[in-house]
């Protein structure tokens, strides 16, 4: 989505890592950067069903208040579109609840999740909107991702409802962090994916998630995942949102 930060080498690294770790993906890779017209059409659909408004609240203002929704009276005045984000007003929608297979109930409440940004002030479409549209078009039934993205789920549920789309099942996995609780980062020389250590690293992940230990004879990533697939049990890490690595 963010064309200012994406580079071809990043995409190559992601696909190479998926291959090395035995994770299959469609032959045709969809690039969100090529789907701006699709997202614009979705915004037009939203505008026909719920209210949209421009908002000039800044990231700093929102961060200082610990808020994601509009802080000011942007709904009632005409903000300059050239320096404003575009938000969908969610207050007319119905409350929704889905059950995450690890972290329990996730709620969308239009009283607290009043609005969501669908297009940034720089013209780029947002993660909640793009993922809802992409998942629906690709027939995605299950979303498995890190618990650090849990907070975006309520807004995604709202967009599913507004666009008359069926939401997928969600499973939010614990996020691996440093001993002090900070995110893994190259600047901290955190543990990275090792192309020559795919099986040991997969075994470590399964231990972190309290899964069955695969037989020692399994020596390829693909075989390990095939063995694990029918034995996968997300109830073994229910309620966990963080895993701290050893110091």
Strand, coil or helix: 17: helix
Q: Count CB-CB contacts under 10 A for residue 243.
A: 16
pLDDT mean across residues, the chain? 92
Instruction: Provide the β-strand partners of residue 243.
Output: 176
CA 51, 56, 59: angle at the middle one, nearest 5? 115
Per-residue pLDDT at 240? 86
Q: Does residue 247 have a pLDDT over 70?
A: no
Would you list the domain boundaries of the chain? 35-173, 177-244
Over 60: is that where the pLDDT of 151 sits?
yes
Residue from 125, 33, 63, 58 nearest 88 by CA: 125
Cβ neighbours for 215, distance < 8 A, ≥ 6 positions apart: 227
For residues 239 and 101, give the distance between their C-alpha atoms in angstroms, rounded to a whole number.
9
* Average pLDDT estimate for 154-168: 96
Give the alpha-carbon dihedral of 83, 2, 142, 146, to 10 degrees.
Answer: -100
Q: What is the pLDDT of residues 46-72, one digit of tens each?
A: 999 999 999 999 999 999 998 999 999
Between strands 96-100 and 104-108, the pairing is antiparallel
- Answer whether residue 29 shows pLDDT above 70: yes
Say which CATH topology domain 35-173 has. Answer: Rossmann fold (3.40.50)
Decide if pLDDT at 146 tops 80: yes
Tell me the C-alpha distance between 244 and 247, whole Å. 9
């Amino acid at each position: 989505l963010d064309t200012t930060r994406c580079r071809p080498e990043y995409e190559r690294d992601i696909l190479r890592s998926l291959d090395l770790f035995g994770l299959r993906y469609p032959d045709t890779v969809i690039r969100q950067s090529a789907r701006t017209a699709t997202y614009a059409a979705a915004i037009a659909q939203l505008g026909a069903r719920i209210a949209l408004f421009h908002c000039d609240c800044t990231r700093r203002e929102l961060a200082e208040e610990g808020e994601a929704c509009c802080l000011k009276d942007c709904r009632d005045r005409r903000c300059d579109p050239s320096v404003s984000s575009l938000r969908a007003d969610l207050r007319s929608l119905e409350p929704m609840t889905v059950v995450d297979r690890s972290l329990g109930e996730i709620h969308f409440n239009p009283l607290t999740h009043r609005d969501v940004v669908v297009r940034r002030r720089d013209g780029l479409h947002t993660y909640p909107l793009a993922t809802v549209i992409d998942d629906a078009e690709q027939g995605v039934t299950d979303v498995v991702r890190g618990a650090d993205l849990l907070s975006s789920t309520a807004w995604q549920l709202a967009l599913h409802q507004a666009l008359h789309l069926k939401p997928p099942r969600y499973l939010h996995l614990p996020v691996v962090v440093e001993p002090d609780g900070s995110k893994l980062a190259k600047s901290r020389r955190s543990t990275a994916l090792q192309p020559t250590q795919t099986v040991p690293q997969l075994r470590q992940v399964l231990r972190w998630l309290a899964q069955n230990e695969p037989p020692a004879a399994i020596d390829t990533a693909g075989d390990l995942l095939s063995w694990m697939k029918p034995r996968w049990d997300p109830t073994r890490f229910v309620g966990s949102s963080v895993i701290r690595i050893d110091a």
